[in-house]
Amino acid sequence: MEPSQLKQFETYCATLYTSPDAAERSAAEAALVQLSTSAEYIPQCQYVLDHSKYAYAQLVAANALKKLLVHSWNHLSQAHQIEFRNYTLSYLAQ
């Protein structure tokens, strides 16, 4: 994920949680829901958690990461399981 993509992600999150317009919130949710559809988005979730200072973006990324890991855990190699476990523990220890 590039910095411009992170800014767009943060904008969608702000819209989702703060916009008074239901149509805008719905469009933002539709854009954000893609993040939790495939395990290939795990690195993007980690990038957001590591680089965004925006609480709503961190919330969306954390929820998407949790969903992705729960659904794909048994399909991950043991090395990836250990990597994601260590990432999660390191993130929580910050």
Structure tokens at 58: 């961190």
User: Residues 27-46: what's their mean pLDDT?
Assistant: 93
Confidence of residue 3 (pLDDT cuts 50, 70, 90): confident
Q: What is the value of pTM for the model shown?
A: 0.88
Type of residue at 91: Y
User: Residues 30-51: what's their mean pLDDT?
Assistant: 93
Task: Calculate helix-pair angle for 3-18, 42-51, nearest 10 degrees.
Answer: 80
Task: Write out pLDDT tens, residues 46-93.
Answer: 999 999 999 999 999 999 999 999 999 999 999 999 999 999 999 999
The pLDDT of residue 1 is 81
